[in-house]
Amino acid sequence: MNTSETQTPAIIIILGATGDLAAKKIFPSLWHLFKHDRLPPHFSVISVARRDLSVDEFRAIVKDAVLNHGGISDESSFEAFLARFEYHTALFEDADAFQSLALRITETERSWGICGNKLFYLAVPPSAYEEIFKNLAGARLNEPCGGESGWSRVLIEKPFGSDEKSAQKLQELLLAYFKEDQIYRIDHYLFKEIVQGIEHFRFSNNLFESTWDNTTIERIDIRLLEEIGIEDRGAFYDSVGTLRDVGQSHLLAMLAAITMDPQSRTVESIRESRADILGHIRPWSEEMIHANTFRAQHEGYQSIAGVTLNSKTETYFALKTELTHQRWRGVPITLEAGKSVGGARKEIVLTLKHPRVCLLCEAGAHGANTITFRLEPNDEILIHFWTKKPGFERELEERTFSFFLYEKETKMQYVEEYAKVLNAAFIGNQAQFVSNAEIDAMWRFVDPILDAWRRNSVPLASYPKGSKPEPIFLISAPDTDEKRRGSLGIIGLGKMGGSLARRLMEVGWHVVGFNAHREITDALVAEGLDGAFSIPELISKLPAPRLVWLMVPYAAVDDVLNELTPHLNPGDIIVDGGNSPYRESIRRKKELEGRGIEFLDIGVSGGPGGARTGACMMVGGQKEAYERLEDTGFFKDTCVSNGWAYLGESGSGHYAKMVHNGIEYGMMQSIAEGFDLLKHSKEFTFDLAQVADVYAHGSVIVSRLVSWLRDSYQSFGVDLTKISGRAASSGEGKWTIETGNRDGIKLPAIQAALDVRTASAENPSYQGRIISALRGAFGQHPVSRSGDEPKIL
């Protein structure tokens, strides 16, 4: 707290001051702040409750609370602290009691000789809010008394509604009496040291943040498992359940902390970033809820006082989801929480992807690296990694970096985080308080689950008290190399199809392949392909529903479909992964849907190298078919990070790839012209490989194309004498021009690039050599020189 904040008089008014929340959290936390000189010299606590108590009786309650939750280390200092407490008896529906409360506040301010800021802490059930807000406003206590320099703020605890509709009503109620900057919504998990430590672990270091995304992280598991049970809260818990109690709030707050984008560290940007990432949680479908959510109730729960007979309230839940955000797409996320499940385990675990090249992995057992942010049983950050055992042998052992935030015996539950809650409210820092946008996103995620559970779409399981259920979707494979994916048939095993098959086999897919030339199929069989030597045989080896990928020249697609489709059934999916005219894809989709066969047109960029190591895919077709394919992990397994997208109805994938290739024509032509000019400069002699290398590092025109040209210069020399000056064209540039002409869009750069390629057939050139070299680099197209001589264009 800065000097002005520590000196500004403040009054905290605790409404519901005789309840458990005040005793367990608020009073001990205020004492913690007082001991650490975090309260202003002029500071008062006015405690409001229904009970008729004298101030001495109430101060005795405060003292007992502090003794039970933190202790008193300095008796004289505590007496000075206790003297700050006053007690005011009031019924929350009694408007006159709030008028008299305003008079008590005014009397306190007069004794100081200055207006005091006011913080209203509602330690009451949400059902009491409306009367309290109305009566605070009636006494004008919701207005600051110090003009622009003063403030009046309200602190409220979760739950923030019981669903999205009720949460919106609560927001309307709040805004009827307070401005948004007066409202402080508490989720105390955002104030826990470990959760706040995530922010600094990520954003204050460059150790991991540059790869804190789906390129490196395999999965995220967040769990809040408790040994304790419902205890004496049966009636409350039975009306809420575990998903509402901690799933809608704490678990999602932790998910936001671990996945939110780095932003400028303003209050607004932090809250907006949390809300944004929560808004990217994948929407539920009924099928997803059935497959990826689980709920259970521990045995004996219904005998707890306050629990209704035949209660269907869950005491444990688990679910699996993912984010649609480009940084996290494809990363499975599990959320899990429960009561009476054995030992306490509260943590976030990030499992990192297994390295593609793993030195010494063959030397013994080896698992994925993990980073764990643990709240219980200890506050610590753990990084698990592998290293060589000391000694002569080439053996691995698992080691752990561990950073403890607390010695276990020195930490008092709730006190530290609630002290930070109060401190942040006093100084006006809303960064770790939940925004209304975050609450809306949380309920949008949870409401469909609750609705499905009410309809018993996911039956309520049971588990012995003291044990933990194990939903099947929480059980991860012990080795990321385990065969874990689906089956795919590939027709066309040339450069692209063969590379795609190798990629999929490498990560655990069952790939059945057919090629018109048997020797190509035989070669891949030696690498693990399930070879087929006819289309009927390929279909017979695929489980239903079948997924068949075509990687054949566009002129052959209809012939393949005519032979293939009689062997398919409704629900099977065909993918055309070649470069077909997009209008043909629209036609094929219409023809196939009459048979109940789903069709996707996917433009694939990256060439054979991309198909082997990670491609870019543009998807068109039925969205349901795309989602089915995405659910298998296909795109995650075949594409670079964020290298795929669903673009729309049938034809859109191939349309986008056509435009991509047209742009590629123009880019390659510009590069060729620029380097032609450099090579034939009348004033300077350039090392073209050096120029290409510097362009490839941080320049505005940095690109894979420039890097490939540099590599070509290094391999063939700057004259490129072994490369043909006849730049070939494979059709997509022409289709792009035709589409532009039809739609009235002028494409002069792409047209000129196409014209140069056409002219190079009769007049090979140095520019043609550059284009041929680039085509050879990314597409493995033939580029050898055939006796042509370069001419300067």
Active site residues: 250
Residue labelled with tokens 């001051």: 17
The 3 state secondary structure assigned to 674-704 is: HHHHHHCCCCCCCCHHHHHHHHCCCCCCCCH
C-alpha to C-alpha distance for 648 and 626, rounded to whole angstroms? 10
| Gap between the Cα atoms of 270 and 329, Å rounded | 21
Question: What whole-number distance in Å separates Cα of residue 489 and Cα of residue 478?
Answer: 27
Element housing 727 (H / E): none
Residue 300: which region, alpha, beta or left (left: phi > 0; alpha: psi -120 to 50)? Answer: left
Q: What angle do CA 415, 419, 420 make, to 5 degrees?
A: 120
Non-local CB neighbours of 194 within 8 Å, separated by 6+ positions: 373, 374, 375, 379, 380, 381, 405
The CA distances from residue 36 to 189, 402, 413, in Å, are 22, 29, 18
* Rounded distance between C-alpha atoms, residue 405 and residue 605, angstroms: 48
Dihedral Cα 50, 54, 55, 59, nearest 10 deg: -80
The contacts of residue 218 (CB under 8 Å, 6+ apart) are 331, 351, 352, 353, 354, 368, 480
Q: Which of 313, 339, 310, 644 is nearest to 469 (CA)?
A: 339
Please, what sign has the CA dihedral across residues 280, 484, 570, 292? Answer: negative
What contacts 323, CB < 8 A, 6 or more positions away?
Answer: 259, 277, 280, 281, 282, 329, 331, 333
Both structure tokens of 164: 């999205």
CA pair distance 452, 454, nearest whole angstrom = 5
- 212's tokens: 């804190």
Q: How far apart are CA 760 and CA 782, in angstroms?
A: 16
Residue 782 neighbours by CB distance under 10 Å: 11
Strand positions, DSSP E, 279-365: 293-298, 316-321, 333-338, 345-352
SS3 sequence of 377-436: CCCEEEEEEEEECCCCCCCEEEEEEEEECCCHHHCCCCHHHHHHHHHHHHHCCCCCCCCH
| CB contact at 8 A, 309 and 302 | yes
How many other C-beta atoms can be found within 10 angstroms of the C-beta atom of residue 326?
Answer: 13
Burial class (CB in 10 A: 0-12, 13-18, 19+), 145: middle
